Chain A
Amino acid sequence: MTIHDLTLAELRARLDNRELSAVEVTNAYLERIAATNPDLNSFITVCNETAIVEAQAADQALAAGEVAPLTGLPIAVKDIFNTAGLRTTCASRILENYVSPYDATAIARIKAQKAVIVGKLNMDEFAMGSSNENSAFGAVRNPWNLEHVPGGSSGGSAASIAAHQAAAALGTDTGGSVRQPAAHCSVVGLKPTYGRVSRYGVVAYASSLDQVGPVTRDVRDSALLLQAIAGYDSADSTSVDTPVPDYQANLTGDLRGMKIGLPKEYFIEGLDDDVRKAITDAAATYKALGAEIIEVSLPHTAYAVACYYLIATAEASSNLARYDGVRYGLRDENAEKLIDMYMQSRAAGFGTEVKRRIMLGTYALSSGYYDAYYIKAQKVRTLIRQDFLDVFEKVDTLLTPVAPTPAFALGEKTDDPLQMYLSDIYTIPVNLAGTCAMSLPCGFSAKGLPIGLQLIGKPFDEATMLRTAHAFEQATEWHKRTPKF
C-alpha cells in the first residue's frame, strides 16, 4: 500500500511505530498533489515549504514522545480558514493576495497537535455555491469523473480526500457545503451542531448557519478530526460550553434499540431513482443491523430552501460589507471618489454569485421589506427547528439522501441558479435547525457516480450519529472504493 492511500488512523499507527516519518508522509502527499492537482484544481495554495518544516517539527515531537492524535498527519484546509502567514483567498479576487496575520481557532487546534497543513483548498467563492464552479481560481473537477462537479462549496475538500491528496480535510458547511460534496465524491463529511466547533477565524458567509466540519475517508477518521477541533472557544460567542465526549470510544458498532427515522418529505418528486434505491438499501442494511426504521414527518421541509436564501443572503450582505478596499484586499486605485472606490473595488472583486446573494440579502433587509422577508424567514426557521426537535422525541437519528441527484456535469446548472439552489434541499434544513448531520458513501449511480446518505443527529449528539455511521460503514464496502485516478 502506498503512503497516500492510508487513512489517518493507519498513518497514526505507522508514525507511532516509526515505520514512517512525518517528513516521508508529507513528501508523499506533496508529490501526489503535484501529480494530480493540474487535473483536479482542488488546491489554491500548496504549502510545499511550510509543510516540510511542520513535518520536521512533528518528527521531533514524535522522537521526544510528545504525541497528540494528529501529530505528523497531513491535513488540507478549505481556503476559508485564516492561516497565519499563508494566503487566505476564500476563492475570491477580492482576497486574492490577502495573507492572514492570525490562525482560526480550528487551525490553531490542529497546529497545537502538530498536524501538517499541506495546502489550502479550492471552494466556491465565499462558500457560496453547490458545485465549486464559483471560484475565482477555476472550477474543481470530480475525481470520479472529471466532466462532473465535485459539489460545493467545499468541493476542493471533498475532491482532495477522494483523490488521496491529503489524509483529511477541513471544510465548512452553511447549507450542505461539507455533506453534499462529500456525497458527490464518496467520502465522509460531517457538519457538527452549531456551536460545537468555533467559527473564530473562519471567513463568515452566513454567521448563524456556518459550521466547520471534517472531510475524511472513513468514519473513524471523522471522529478523530472532530475530536481535535470540537469544544468551547471564548473567542466565538456562539460556541457552546458543553462537554465533548470521546467520539472514537463511541464507535462500538452496536445499534441495538436504535430508532432511525425516514422523513417522508425527503422522498419526493425530483429524487433520482438511483439515489432513492441507494437510500432504501441503506435503510434495509440498518434494519438488518438491528435498528428500527420508522417513517416520520418534518412538515415544514418544503419552505427550507426559500427560508435559507433569505437568512443566509441577509447575513452575507452584512458580513461581506467589510471588503471595501479600505484596509486590505482588492482596491480600485483609479477611483476618483470614495463611493467609486467602493463600487469599483467590489464590482471587480466579487464574482457573479456573490453579487447576486449580496443583492438578495440587501433587499431582504431593506426598510419596508424586512418584516415580509427576513422576519418571516426567521419564523419559518423556528418552525423547521421545531420539526426536528419533535421528531427527535421519537427517533435517535434520521436517514435521508444528501442530494437529490449524483454530481451533475460541469456547466449543467450554472445558468439556472434556482435549480442549483434546489440541489441543497436535503441539507439546508439541518443548518436552519442548527443540529448535526453527516454524509457517508452508500452506493453508485448507473453512470458510476457516487451516492451518499445523510444521517441527522440530535443537537450535540455527534457521538450517536458517528456510531450509527460507523456501523453502516462496517457493514458495507462503499467507502473502500477509490476513483481510478
Chain B
Amino acid sequence: MTQRYETVIGLEVHAQLTTNTKIFCGCSTEFGQTPNSQTCPVCLALPGALPVLNQKAVELAIRTGLATNCQIAPRSIFARKNYFYPDLPKGYQISQFELPVCEHGWLDIDLENGERKRIGITRAHMEEDAGKLVHGDTPETSSNSLVDLNRACTPLLEIVSEPDMRSADEAISYLKKLHQIVVYLGVCDGNLEEGSFRCDANISVRPYGQEELGTRAELKNLNSFRFIKQAIEFEVERQIDLIESGGKVVQETRLFDSNTGMTRSMRGKEDAHDYRYVPDPDLVPLVISQEWIEEVRATLPELPEAKRSRFVEELGLTAYDAEVLAADRELADYFDASVALAKDAKSCANWIMGDVLRKLKETDTTIANAPVSPELLTGLLARIADNTISGKIAKKVFEKMWQNGQTADQIIDKEGLKQVTDTGAIESLVDEVIAANPGQVAEYLGGKEKLIGFFVGKVMQASQGKANPGMVNQLLKQKLTGN
C-alpha cells in the first residue's frame, strides 16, 4: 500500500543564534539562570520600551545564509506577529515576514544509493524567542503558571526548506547536514534537548505521479533526530491509512508524543491564529551592504564538505577517516594543526582517531580541552619517526602526557624510555636470551621459524621495551643462524 504513495516533507528549523546578548536588548542569553534575572524594560515589554537590533545576530544570520547558499537581502524588514500568550510579553513576536534576511538557498544531501540530492531552502528569517511557562510543582502552586522571561527576546534564525524531501531518511540527512553547518559556523550550539536547535516538520502524502501536494500536517515537539524520524514515519503511515480507509487528511498542527511514538492533533486550521503581521514601526529596515556580506564571507570557515575532499585529495586519507575527522570542526582543526607540524597526515589521523578520541571518550573531555595539544602529539610522533621510541612505548608515553601535560621528550627522559639502538647493548641481551633458551633455539633451527617472535619478545622484555624491535629482529636472526 505504502508504495503507491509519495511522502513530501518540508522542514522548519529554529536555530538559536549564539550571541552573548538578546536580539533586541542588552540582556544576557545565558541558559539556566534564576528565572527573570536576565530581563530589562525591553524584554519585559514595559510601557515605552523600544527594541534595538543586535548587529551580531545579523552577522550570524548572514553567516548561515552564505553557508547555505542563500541570497542575502540588501534590505529586509522586521514585522510584528500578533497573538496573546503569557510567555509573549509584548503581545506580539518580532519576526520577519515579507522581506526575510536570507532567501533562495540550498543544501546537497547524500542519499543511501550514493547519489546527491539538492534540498531547497526557501528562506531564513530572524526573530525573537518567547519566554517559557513553568507550572507550579507544590500543592499550593499546582494551579499557578509562572512566567520566566529569561529566554524572551533571544535571537532565533528560522530556516525554512522547500518541500523537497521524500522520506524520513532524507529529512534526517538534511537536518544533520544543516545541524553540522550551524555548529561548524559557530552560529548555534546545536543542542536539541535545550531547544537551541528545534525542528517542525510539514508532512503530506500523495499518490505517485500526482503533481498537486496533499494536505499537510505540521508536526511539533520533535527534540531529537530519533524522534523526528519516528514522528515522520508514524505520520506518513497515519495519513496513508486515513486516505486508504476513505478519509481525508485535514490541515492541522500535531504534537509528537515521545512516550507513545504517535502524533496527536493540537489545533486545526479553523483555530489557526490570524497573526495580523505588520511591519514593526519601532525598527528601521535592516540594510546589509555588499561590503558587509563580503566581510562576513571572508570569515567563513572551511565547511565539512570542503574539508572532507581536501583530506582525501590533498592529504591522502581514506573517505572514512576524512568523514570522521571533518565531522567536528574542532577535531578537524586539531587534525589540521597536527598535520601542519608533523607533515605525516596518515599517522596523525591514526593517532587522533585512535588514542586521542579514545581518551576524550574515557575522560569525557572535548577536543578543545584535551591535555595533549597538537604540539604535544606531534612531538610524540617525531620521536617515533626518528626511532627514539617504539610505537608500543609511544602508547605509554601518550598516557603519561595525557595525565600531566608534559612533552614526550620530558617523559622519555624522565622515565628512561629512550629506545636502545646501541648494537652492543642489544647484542648482549640477544646472547643472554639465546643462552637461556636452548630448547627453543633447537626448535627454531629445526625449522620452526615462527619462534622468532618468542625470542624478540624475550629480548624486548629484557630491555624493558626500549630495544629497537627492528634491530633486535635482525640481530637475533644473525646470531641464531650464525651468519
Contacts and interface: CB of A to CB of B under 8 A. Distances in A.
Interface of A: 81-82, 88, 90, 95, 98, 100-102, 104, 199-204, 206-208, 234-238, 314-315, 317-318, 320-322, 324, 326-328, 338, 342, 362, 365-367, 370, 374
Contacts of B91: 318, 320-322, 324
A208 B80 CA distance: 14
A288 B276 CA distance: 54
A365 B278 contact: yes
B247 interface: no
A98 B47 contact: yes
B135 to A, nearest CB: 13
Nearest to B90: A322
17 contacts: A82-B47, A100-B48, A101-B46, A199-B50, A200-B48, A204-B48, A234-B52, A236-B50, A236-B52, A238-B281, A315-B278, A321-B84, A321-B90, A322-B89, A326-B86, A342-B84, A366-B276
B309 to A, nearest CB: 44
Given A328-B46, A366-B274, A207 B281 contact: yes
Interface string B275-286: 011100111100
Nearest to B83: A321
A302 to B, nearest CB: 24
B48 A374 contact: no
A199 B91 CA distance: 20
Interface of B: 41, 44-53, 80, 82, 84, 86, 89-92, 147, 274, 276-278, 281-284
Nearest to A321: B91
Q: Which of A88, A100, A235 has the most CB of B within 10 A?
A: A235
A321 B52 contact: no
A98 B45 CA distance: 14
B84 A202 contact: no
A199 B281 CA distance: 12
* Nearest 9 A/B pairs, CB to CB: A321-B91, A208-B281, A365-B276, A207-B281, A201-B48, A203-B47, A322-B45, A82-B48, A367-B274
A237 B51 contact: yes
Contacts of A202: 48
Q: Which of B47, B84, B276, B277 has the most CB of A within 10 A?
A: B47
Nearest to A374: B278
A201 B50 CA distance: 8
A39 B296 CA distance: 64
A442 to B, nearest CB: 33
B281 A201 contact: no
A86 to B, nearest CB: 13
Given A324-B84, A326-B147, A318 B45 contact: no
Contacts of B92: 318, 321
Where chain A touches its partner, the secondary structure class is loop
A237 B282 contact: yes
Contacts of A326: 86, 89, 147
Contacts of B276: 317-318, 362, 365-367, 370
B127 to A, nearest CB: 16
Contacts of A370: 276-278
Contacts of B41: 101-102
Nearest to B86: A326
Nearest to A95: B47
B47 A100 contact: yes
B286 to A, nearest CB: 10
Contacts of A366: 274, 276
Contacts of A98: 47
A308 B401 CA distance: 74
Contacts of A315: 278, 281
Nearest to A207: B281
A101 B48 CA distance: 11
B66 to A, nearest CB: 25
Contacts of A201: 48-49
B48 A238 contact: no
Contact of B45 (A235, A327, A338): A327
Contact of B284 (A238, A328, A365): A238
A320 B91 CA distance: 8
Contacts of B82: 317-318, 321, 365
Contacts of B283: 237-238
Nearest to B78: A237
Nearest to B41: A102
B126 to A, nearest CB: 14
A48 to B, nearest CB: 24
B284 A104 contact: no
A318 B82 CA distance: 7
A318 B276 CA distance: 9
A237 B51 CA distance: 7
B47 A327 contact: no
Given A199-B48, A362-B276, 18 more contacts: A101-B46, A200-B49, A200-B50, A203-B47, A235-B50, A237-B50, A237-B282, A237-B284, A238-B283, A318-B82, A321-B82, A324-B91, A326-B86, A326-B89, A327-B45, A327-B89, A327-B147, A365-B277
Contact of B86 (A238, A320, A338): A338
